[in-house]
Amino acid sequence: MLPGLTDLTTSNAEVAQVIQSAVAPVFLLAGIGAFLNVCVGRLARIVDRARALEPRLLASRGKEHDRIIAELHILDRRIRVVNTAVFLSVSAAVLICLVVILLFGSQLTGLHFGKAVALLFIAAMISTGLGFATFLYETQLGTRAVRVRAHILEHQPEDAD
């Protein structure tokens, strides 16, 4: 039999101590959730813009057609980048959940999962950091993609006599 499984009683103080240890990872989960909300909102806006351009593409010709195609390529790239940020953030959240599970599992079974907890937490931080960096890259892509066309900037209203 595994050590610690012969005595399945755990005091309230021991459980409270594990809960205290799990509070920081749980707050981290809340932060990741808020970040995911931002990512998904941004993704929705990108998809909406792409859908708005699709019918215009079919009706366009010449330079306007080329401009819309170029914008759709950028939007497609941005969608992939935001999806990567979402994937990395969700992966981090899953790893944090495993950290919390192992913290409780260690207490309940008496087994020592310290190295596994540390490695999972490190992996979660790496995944979170990469998710943030990927999102930063997407915001730069979005900023670079927004270009006001020169003929718009130089437009002069016609005099209405």
pTM for this entry: 0.78
16, two tokens: 């409270």
Q: By the 8 A CB rule, do 85 and 38 touch?
A: no
Q: By the 8 A CB rule, do 96 and 43 touch?
A: no
Alpha-carbon gap, residue 95 to 90, rounded angstroms: 9
**What tens-digit pLDDT sequence spans the chain (161 residues)?**
445 444 555 677 777 777 777 788 889 999 999 999 999 999 999 999 999 999 998 888 999 999 999 999 999 999 999 999 999 999 999 999 999 999 888 888 888 999 999 999 999 999 999 999 999 999 999 988 876 666 677 777 876 55
In order of 89, 122, 154, the CA distances from 127 in angstroms are 6, 9, 45
Residue 19 has what pLDDT? 78
Q: Which helix (H) or strand (E) holds 160?
A: none
